Amino acid sequence: MIKATYQQYILKFKRPSGTSRGILKTKETWFVLLSDGKNQGVGECGILRGLSIDDRPDYEEKLKWVCQNINLGLVILLQDLLEFPSIQFGLEQAFLSLQSASKFELFPSDFTRGKRSIPINGLVWMGDAKFMKTQVIEKIEAGFSCIKMKIGAIDFETELDLLTSIRKEFSSKDIALRVDANGGFHPQEALEKLKKLSALEIHSIEQPIRQGQFEEMARLCEKTPLPIALDEELIGVFSLTEKKELLQTIQPQYIILKPSFIGGFQGGSEWISLANKQGIGWWVTSALESNVGLNAIAQWTFTLQNTLPQGLGTGGLYTNNFDSPLEVQNGNLHHTISREWDFNLK
């Protein structure tokens, strides 16, 4: 028999972080804790208020139901949790953790053995031009060869000037630049903006227009001068049929997989299988989880053997994150075996 409990935990940002949905000072997350009398398991249910599809009034009630019915088993629980992708992800982690010889080694590999690392992009947060330029320089000096900039906080021309100044100093051979519009462009103006961005040899743009506008997004992906990556567009698309239809309709150049938003490893694997069949590229991104969720995503990502830089660099954002073996060095995420976990929810 397995016993299950859950607990809320509030992560505190080291400095307020700008997103398309305002300034974040704290971030709420939930942990599912399992015990079979001998071993313990832990999984993080990473929810982002205002963005996650399972940001619902009955979220905690669902967590309580899961814990009361934990002995139904993972397969049945995942089916019942289709509309709660972050809880699906937390449960997948918790069951793997319970069965593991080491609580936090979910996918043993050369990554968890400290022999290989994962290339990641350096994330530049929204802010004024000076703040964003400072972050870009910091990321380059820290050894990142791929930088992702969130755009949309200041006016487009100012952001374009900033990107232009970066390109004057660093060519596309030196630095790959990704931008994330978080759906901020109007459909009528999007193509013109993409043309201006393409002149700067941008690697890709995430979600140029708001999700749910299938025809406009399909038209944009057909005519775009630079690759488009779908991000928020994947949120709330639950069935395999819906996923297939979305990719066939829009035909994007890339999709971005956030396990907390799309149903964990199982949901992510479905998207990857469909994307591969259509020749659509992809990479994996964390969604502001603590080191517990980030660790799970990183280990799974390594097994996928995708050579593109992944979006796995959120571990250093919080003052009260958990000490872990995860470490960023020279634009790569490492699992440093000499560093130990300190997971304490008190």
Alpha carbon distance 292, 46 (integer Å): 10
* Mean pLDDT, residues 58-64: 98
132 has a pLDDT exceeding 90: no
Q: What is the mean pLDDT of residues 105-128?
A: 93
For position 51, what pLDDT does the model report? 86
For 19, 50, 78, 205, 207, the CA distances from 178, given in Å and listed in that order, are 16, 24, 33, 6, 12
Q: What is the pLDDT of residues 275-294, one digit of tens each?
A: 999 999 999 999 999 999 99
Q: Could you read off the pLDDT of 222-279 as tens digits, one per residue? A: 999 999 999 999 999 999 999 999 999 999 999 999 999 999 999 999 999 999 999 9
Most trustworthy range by pLDDT among 155-159, 168-172, 202-206: 202-206
Q: What is the mean pLDDT of residues 317-330?
A: 94
- C-alpha angle 51-54-59 in degrees, rounded to nearest 5: 125
pLDDT of residue 182: 87
CATH number of 3-99: 3.30.390.10
Mean pLDDT of 332-337: 96
- 113 vs 337: CA distance, rounded Å: 7
Q: Give pLDDT, residue 316.
A: 83
What mean pLDDT comes out for the span 116-136?
86
Scan for tokens 């607990």, then name that residue.
7
Average pLDDT, the chain: 94
Query: Among 147-161, 197-211, 330-344, where is mean pLDDT lowest?
Result: 147-161
Residues annotated as part of the active site:
150, 258
pLDDT at 213 over 70: yes
* CATH architecture under which domain 118-335 falls: Alpha-Beta Barrel (3.20)
Burial pattern 187-215, b for ≥16 Cβ within 10 A else e, equals eeebeebbeebeebebbbbbbbbbbeeee
pLDDT band, very low/low/confident/very high, at 125 (cuts 50, 70, 90): confident
d(CA 132, CA 146): 15
From CA 279, how far away is CA 290, in angstroms rounded?
A: 32
pLDDT reported for residue 113? 97
pLDDT of residue 24: 80
pLDDT surpasses 90 at 8 = yes
Element (H, E) at 132: helix 129-141
> Taking 80 as the threshold, does the pLDDT of residue 19 lie above it?
no
Domain boundaries, the chain: 3-99, 118-335
Name the residue among 202, 120, 211 with its Cα closest to residue 159: 202
Q: What is the pTM of this model?
A: 0.95
Q: How many CB atoms lie within 10 A of CB 140?
A: 18
In this structure, what token pair is assigned to residue 94? 């918790």
pLDDT of res. 18: 60
